[in-house]
Structure 1
Amino acid sequence: MERRGGRADLAGRGRVRGRRPFPGEGSPREREHRSGSAGPPWGREHRAGIAGLPWRSTLAVAFVVFVGSHFAQQAAQGDREHLDALARLLLLGGAATLLWRHRLPAVVAFVATGSVLAYLAGGHPYGPVFLTAAVACFSAVVHGRRVAAWCAVGMLWGGHLLIGHWWYRWLPPAGDGPAPWGLESVVAAWLAVILAAAELARVKHQQRRQARAERAAAEKRRADEERLRIARELHDVLAHSISVINVQASMGLALLDTDPEQARTALSTIKSASKEALGEVRQVLDTLRTPGDAPRAPAPGLDRLPELVEQAAAAGLSVRTRTAGDAPPRIPPGTDLAAFRIVQEALTNVVRHSGSRTADVLITYAPGTVRLRIDDVGPATGDEAGGSGNGLAGMRERAAALGGTIEAGPLPDGGFRVDADIPLSRNLRGGDTP
């Protein structure tokens, strides 16, 4: 079986079993199908018709025009010309041009109007013959060919005036008089109604297109934010745990021959750190596979700070923690998670990049905000620690998503400080969702 890109290809299409696609994933047609929006009626007909042509509506118009004209002939009682072969050809030919009204709206508007004028010039009964030109001009306006549609309507009305009040002397039926001016007023009002309805439909169509574009942009933005959140979460989990594992693995290798007991302790730390990392990664992947479902385990928060201190101690880092102010009875989950991850990432950076084996963490609860300060007394080792370089960016993104700020930079004595200020009272861009 040919894999054609393997699991990554399937994941890119949002078809991996057990995971629903992101809102912005897939082709435009797939996103349109998922959102339940298939465009305006004429768009659906244009796509669904045989060979892309609107056969059903065109046949309906042709039937109404052809049958209605026969009834109009009977009602005229011989005052108008009979429907000969040429008249029937004009009726059916004009209606047939409507098949291309979506592809060539301007051309169809003029051709349909010309067929109506030719039919009237033959002295045939009125009936519903104007319906062909009305549908053609309506479609031209909706498809943005407004100038062509208005010119076609003007041609129709002007030609009707000439036929009914000037050329009637030389046109059939013989002995026919001028058309009453009241009829011209009715025709003008009828054409005005058609144009007004077409303009209204055009505006509604544009509004629907704009709304669909805005929904698609919002879905893409939500999908990008969700991907960013998952990438940030995975980075924070893996960066911290792998840093601890790296330190302990180096220690275990160094002490394997000289101090087997200490090497065993390092291996135990590696085992517990990897187990915890797997658990948190599994939790993130569970939310990815089943978006919208409640997570099976609570998201980490500041109440797990002692565990974080123990993990840092296992990596050889001494962490002193202090708390100032009165903690609120309930911290929003998004704020709690962001605060925990910021402290975690700051301590991970100390393990990776600092020559110091101590760090100070100060958590200050103030009205409506929680402030974090993580100090590393330094100095920096200058060694390549294998990091991705996304740690500080991820911290800033977490704080910004909740309306907070991050300031990070070196201290005068060679250390490094991270200051974070995160609001407790508001959550922006879905930041309250773990």
Structure 2
Amino acid sequence: MVLGADSLLRLRPPRGRMADAALAGGVFVPVALGSLRSLIGEREESWAATVLGWALIAAACGALYLCRRRPVLTAALVLGATAAYYFTSVYDGPLMVAFVAALYAVSAQGHFQAAIAFAALTVIATGIGTLAGNHDVNGVAVFMLTGWLVGVVALGWVRHNRRALAREAEERAASEERLRIARELHDVVGHHISLINVQSAAALRRLHKDPGIGARNAEEALGAIKEASREALRELRVTLGVLRQVDEAAPTAPAAGLDRLDELVTAARLAGLDVRVQCSGEQGQLPAEVDLAAYRVVQESLTNVTRHAHATAVTVRTDRGPRHITVEITDNGQGPAAAAGGGAPGSGISGMRERARALGGELTAGLGPDGGFTVRARIPYTNGVPSKP
């Protein structure tokens, strides 16, 4: 029978309790085969001693079933059973293999001192037995045994360190992903919620100031609020798509980029800002990560102006060079005093800086040349030049 690709993919090493049972059985088979001469051929010991020897073999190998959950206890049980076997049996079987497996498990799970103690105790006991007249083990054998045990402990410790490094890398990647998602949520939700807040506050002020005119203007404000909330929900679904289950459909909405700059400008104008856009430089499709970062810088900057700057006009400039894009947002607001949520260290400016730095760029924020506040980001292309459409 020929196994297909799907069948081969399903052939995975056992895990959990199955792996424990496989280890115990896998060690028992060669140990039992190596000890068969105690059952066949001429008798060198009584049947009672042979039965005891096989019981100790079964106990030592069976204890390996616990080595993943109780490595130190397992090593102690295996060492005791192995020592008892070699003291009571005249057959020099390969039961030491079971102890070597247990010793490796102890070291691989981080119990380095316990592994050294078990290895030293084994070497000392074997050396004492050799000095006491055990002709089956000589000085050379003790020396070789010492080397084997040291090697097993070292291999286990290397395995432990590799797994620890792998866990740290996974945790670091997970932390970076959480920060990325948090930054996306801040940019998406914060921008649209700020616009909703500004529009609703403006509508309330108009209603209180002049109910007749305010009622007519409220319809426009409610329309802007509806559009902003709908856009917030759409972008939120796209952002949270990275957390979807395997069987869920992928988001189909277009990714955020500078080609959607008009949407940001329209929303800001509905909030009462006079927004001017100046685009210069080369044309073409930006790399996705650069396009998204530039869009988010503009989005967060307009959010900060809407919420904090008390500005009436904003200028958004983009300049695409051969190797980088420059985005600059300048308002005529109150300068650094307006930056309580934007210019001072906070999630807004720091998030934009993180985006720029993650792509090898830089972002500055401070007083503009003619007053107000200026955010300027310079983001290089990953491949040196923007891709052409």
Report the TM-score when normalising by structure 2: 0.75
Q: Which residue of 1 aligns with 2:37?
A: 68
Classify the secondary structure of the residue corresponding to 1:312.
helix
Q: 1:106 to 1:146 in 2, by over 3 A?
A: farther
Alignment of 1:127-146 (within 5 A): 129-137=92-100, 139-140=102-103, 143-144=106-107, 145-146=115-116
Code of the aligned partner of 1:135: A
**What CA distance in whole angstroms lies between the structure 2 residues aligned with 1:322 and 1:73?**
100
**What CA distance in whole angstroms lies between the structure 1 residues aligned with 2:306 and 2:95?**
79
**What CA distance in whole angstroms lies between the structure 2 residues aligned with 1:214 and 1:280?**
36
Q: Which ranges of structure 1 fall in alignment gaps of 5 or more residues?
A: 1-35, 75-80, 121-125, 166-182, 428-434
Q: Which residue of 1 aligns with 2:375?
A: 418
Residues 27-60 of structure 1: CA deviation (Å, up to 9, x unaligned): xxxxxxxxx8878xxx8678559xxxx7646765
Q: Which residue of 2 aligns with 1:354?
A: 309
Q: Which residue of 2 aligns with 1:214?
A: 165
Code of the aligned partner of 2:94: L
Q: Which residue of 2 aligns with 1:240?
A: 191
Work out which of the two has the higher radius of gyration on C-alpha atoms and give 1 or 2: 1
Query: Which of 204, 207, 232 pairs up with 1:253?
Result: 204
Q: What is the CA-CA distance between 1:358 and the residue it aligns to? A: 0.7
**What CA distance in whole angstroms lies between the structure 1 residues aligned with 2:195 and 2:329?**
18
Q: 1:151 to 1:72 in 2, by over 3 A?
A: farther
Alignment of 1:42-81 (within 5 A): 47=20, 56=25, 60=29, 63-64=32-33, 67-74=36-43, 81=44
Classify the secondary structure of the residue corresponding to 2:94.
helix
Q: Does 1:302 align with 2:258?
A: yes
Q: What is the CA-CA distance between 1:290 and the residue it aligns to? A: 4.5
Q: 1:285 to 1:139 in 2, by over 3 A?
A: closer
Q: What is the CA-CA distance between 1:346 and the residue it aligns to? A: 0.4
Code of the aligned partner of 1:73: E
Alignment of 1:9-408 (within 5 A): 47=20, 56=25, 60=29, 63-64=32-33, 67-74=36-43, 81-83=44-46, 85-86=48-49, 88-90=51-53, 92-93=55-56, 96-97=59-60, 99-100=62-63, 102=71, 103-105=73-75, 108-109=78-79, 112-113=82-83, 115-120=85-90, 126=91, 129-137=92-100, 139-140=102-103, 143-144=106-107, 145-146=115-116, 148-149=118-119, 151-153=121-123, 155-156=125-126, 159-160=129-130, 162-163=132-133, 188=140, 201-256=152-207, 257-259=211-213, 260-290=215-245, 295-327=251-283, 329-379=284-334, 389-408=346-365
Of 193-202 and 269-278, the range deviating more from structure 2: 193-202
Residues 222-253 of structure 1: CA deviation (Å, up to 9, x unaligned): 32222222222222122221222222212222
Q: Which residue of 2 aligns with 1:6?
A: none
Q: 1:69 to 1:160 in 2, by over 3 A?
A: farther
**What CA distance in whole angstroms lies between the structure 2 residues aligned with 1:111 and 1:397?**
59
Q: What is the CA-CA distance between 1:351 and the residue it aligns to? A: 0.9
**What CA distance in whole angstroms lies between the structure 1 residues aligned with 2:313 and 2:321?**
26
Asked if 2 retains the 8 angstrom alpha-carbon contact of 1:134 and 1:194, the reply is no
Q: 1:207 to 1:213 in 2, by over 3 A?
A: same
**What CA distance in whole angstroms lies between the structure 2 residues aligned with 1:138 and 1:238?**
55
Q: 1:158 to 1:263 in 2, by over 3 A?
A: closer
**What CA distance in whole angstroms lies between the structure 2 residues aligned with 1:138 and 1:224?**
36
Residues 292-311 of structure 1: CA deviation (Å, up to 9, x unaligned): 97541221211111221111
**What CA distance in whole angstroms lies between the structure 2 residues aligned with 1:393 and 1:261?**
40
Q: 1:85 to 1:216 in 2, by over 3 A?
A: same
Classify the secondary structure of the residue corresponding to 2:133.
helix
**What CA distance in whole angstroms lies between the structure 2 residues aligned with 1:38 and 1:343?**
52
Asked if 2 retains the 8 angstrom alpha-carbon contact of 1:137 and 1:153, the reply is no
Asked if 2 retains the 8 angstrom alpha-carbon contact of 1:113 and 1:133, the reply is no
**What CA distance in whole angstroms lies between the structure 1 residues aligned with 2:128 and 2:336?**
89
Classify the secondary structure of the residue corresponding to 2:326.
strand
Code of the aligned partner of 1:326: E
Code of the aligned partner of 2:349: L
**What CA distance in whole angstroms lies between the structure 1 residues aligned with 2:265 and 2:226?**
17
Q: What is the CA-CA distance between 1:411 and the residue it aligns to? A: 3.9
The alignment-based identity, stated in percent, is 36
Q: What is the CA-CA distance between 1:217 and the residue it aligns to? A: 2.6
Residues 82-111 of structure 1: CA deviation (Å, up to 9, x unaligned): 425346435534663555564252574366
CA RMSD of aligned residues (A): 3.8
Asked if 2 retains the 8 angstrom alpha-carbon contact of 1:66 and 1:92, the reply is no
Q: What is the CA-CA distance between 1:119 and the residue it aligns to? A: 3.4
Residues 343-400 of structure 1: CA deviation (Å, up to 9, x unaligned): 0110111111112211122212222111111112221596899999421121112112
Q: 1:139 to 1:314 in 2, by over 3 A?
A: same
Asked if 2 retains the 8 angstrom alpha-carbon contact of 1:368 and 1:424, the reply is yes
Q: What is the CA-CA distance between 1:164 and the residue it aligns to? A: 5.7
Asked if 2 retains the 8 angstrom alpha-carbon contact of 1:62 and 1:95, the reply is no
Q: What is the CA-CA distance between 1:149 and the residue it aligns to? A: 2.8
Q: What is the CA-CA distance between 1:281 and the residue it aligns to? A: 1.6
Classify the secondary structure of the residue corresponding to 2:95.
helix
Code of the aligned partner of 1:71: I
Code of the aligned partner of 2:275: V
